[in-house]
Amino acid sequence: MSQYVVAGGTPLVGEVEIGGAKNAALGILAASIMTDETVTVENMPDVRDTNVLLDAMEGIGVEIHRPSRHVVNINGSRVRNVNIEYELIKKIRASYYLVGALLGKYREAEVPLPGGCNIGSRPIDQHIKGFRALGAEVDVEGGVIRARAEKLTGAHIYMDVVTVGATINIMMASCMAEGKTTIENAAKEPHVVDVANFLNSMGAKIRGAGTDVIRISGVRSLHAAEYSIIPDQIEAGTFMFASAITRGDIMIRNVIPKHLESISSKLMEMGCEVDEFDDAVRVVCARGLRPTQIKTLPYPGFPTDMQPQAGVTLATSGGVSTITESIFENRFKYVDEVVRMGADIKVEGNTSIIRGVPKLTGANITAPDLRAGAALVIAALAAEGCSVVDAIHYIERGYEDFELKLKHLGARIEKADGETEIRKQKLKLLSA
Ligand code: EPZ
């Protein structure tokens, strides 16, 4: 496993470019095989999750060409089977999007159950409810989801919980069904809207994405499209909190400020200055941070994917803050790690009580999952002294060139692979 070696204590200052949204890209990649014509997707993030999904798609015969790092051409006309190999797809959760796409196009799919971050139980009952409502037979056995339908017919589907994955999956499965489908209590995240816009660019008829009710009128087929993915709301938010925790001044470029409103609002409550521009936000933290209360909610609420980054930042504020995690049941695993850096945080059920401390100190810490890993890196950047963050493969699932972007902002961070390199990088950073 690789590590980051970090020498903390330097405010991050400068500009950073945000890449394409990973969680939009995963749905868009799956949806791209629903036509036999070639689809071009731009602003594709070059991260492990999307690359694993592309490999799995190639494994069933999808033709993939990458004319450049962030552009991918996809042609699904030669898909030879609908059975995804476990070895190919076990590393990511979004494998389930292939069920919606393959069912929607071929009326059948066999996909291994998702893997992914251990932030909670991650059920798929709402996905299955949607597929069955459209007329598919769905069973889960031997760790594989099997779905098949003679015909898919539009249905009125009421989601029992607001779920990004199931909303996207049902949009895909229903876009070539006969008749109209309504999804009530739909997820409204920017990446749900992006997948709907992408499907519409291929000829689908999806209305209402971004609201509680999405209406889909089935079409006979989908066609070629060229599409550019929206900027990643969570990558942007991570750099916004990196500025706050290091008391820095960062201009975050290539964002949609509207998508960041709940994050900007919390940072202003905490005492940061946040300026919005057409496609950028600037976060300046010139003084100490104030405590606050956060409850994670579906969009447009405060995103659960930003909860760890907010937690480590509030650990350095003055006063007592609380965070309530209402989406996942196991998303405080970073707390034990940041407590080893001197934080004073207690977790009771799905709420953390954070007593701010004057400073964090460097330590050897381990990334427990994707967003917690990113949070531990920004905590190490703020801490006094040297830290080693282990298991950074989690971080590489969702952040492109993370350490390079941080270095460009003045961070003293290097990648290492094992004890010898860790020692070498420590010497290099501490002598710089
Ligand atoms: C997506 O996961 C994201 N992943 C997650 O981001 C994100 O945290 C989550 O949405 C919430 O915004 C991708 O897009 C690949 P959900 P997803 O279905 O779709 C319950 C990251 O860091 N639920 O919206 O799996 C579920 O248990 C990742 O990039 C059911 O009960 O999340 C949870 O409590 C981590 N039954 C809630 O809904 C279901 O069938 C929200 O889950 C599905 C979900």
The alpha carbon of 372 and the centre of ligand 1 are apart by a number of angstroms equal to 16
Among 18-27, 139-148, 405-414, the least confident range: 139-148
Angle at 404 between CA 400 and CA 410, to 5 degrees: 135
**Of 99, 159, 162, 163, which is best to mutate to test ligand 1, by the most ligand atoms within 8 angstroms of its C-beta?**
163
pLDDT of 431 > 90? The answer is no
The reported pLDDT for the residue numbered 143 is 86
Please choose, from the candidates 95, 90, 70, 358, the residue with its C-alpha nearest in 3D space to the C-alpha of residue 232: 70
In this prediction, residues 390-411 reach a mean pLDDT of: 97
pLDDT of 89 > 80? The answer is no
The reported pLDDT for the residue numbered 204 is 98
Residue 168 alpha carbon, nearest atom of ligand 1 = 19
Among 37-51, 93-107, 210-224, 325-339, the least confident range: 93-107
Residue 374 CA to residue 308 CA, distance in Å, equals 8
Residue 92 alpha carbon, nearest atom of ligand 1 = 15
The reported pLDDT for the residue numbered 115 is 60
What tens digit of pLDDT does each residue of 96-153 get?
899 999 999 999 999 988 765 578 778 899 999 999 999 999 999 888 999 999 999 9
The reported pLDDT for the residue numbered 430 is 86
Residue 27 CA to residue 49 CA, distance in Å, equals 11
Residue 23 alpha carbon, nearest atom of ligand 1 = 14
In this prediction, residues 43-67 reach a mean pLDDT of: 95
In this prediction, residues 29-39 reach a mean pLDDT of: 98
The reported pLDDT for the residue numbered 85 is 77
pLDDT of 186 > 90? The answer is yes
The reported pLDDT for the residue numbered 116 is 54
**Of 22, 23, 304, which is best to mutate to test ligand 1, by the most ligand atoms within 8 angstroms of its C-beta?**
23
Q: In CATH terms, are 2-18+231-431 and 22-228 the same topology?
A: yes
In this prediction, residues 291-318 reach a mean pLDDT of: 98
In this prediction, residues 168-195 reach a mean pLDDT of: 98
In sequence order, the β-bridge partners of residue 351 are 324, 348
The alpha carbon of 304 and the centre of ligand 1 are apart by a number of angstroms equal to 9
The alpha carbon of 246 and the centre of ligand 1 are apart by a number of angstroms equal to 30
CB of 312 closer than 8 Å to CB of 294: no
The alpha carbon of 12 and the centre of ligand 1 are apart by a number of angstroms equal to 31
In this prediction, residues 315-343 reach a mean pLDDT of: 97
Domain ranges of the chain: 2-18+231-431, 22-228
CATH of domain 2-18+231-431: 3.65.10.10
**For the domain 22-228, what is the CATH superfamily, name and number?**
Enolpyruvate transferase domain (3.65.10.10)
The reported pLDDT for the residue numbered 193 is 98
* pTM score: 0.97
Within a 10 A sphere around the Cβ of 346, how many other Cβ atoms? 11
Burial class (CB in 10 A: 0-12, 13-18, 19+), 29: buried
Mean pLDDT (the chain, rounded): 95
Residues with catalytic function: 117
User: Helix crossing, 164-174 with 190-201: angle to 10°?
Assistant: 10
The reported pLDDT for the residue numbered 168 is 98
Residue 197 CA to residue 163 CA, distance in Å, equals 18
pLDDT-derived band at 29 (thresholds 50, 70, 90) equals very high
What tens digit of pLDDT does each residue of 247-265 get?
999 999 999 999 999 999 9
pLDDT of 272 > 90? The answer is yes
Ligand 1 pocket: which residues have CB below 6 Å? 22-23, 26, 93-94, 117, 120-127, 161, 163-166, 187, 189, 304-305, 327-328, 370-371, 398
The reported pLDDT for the residue numbered 245 is 98
In this prediction, residues 220-229 reach a mean pLDDT of: 98
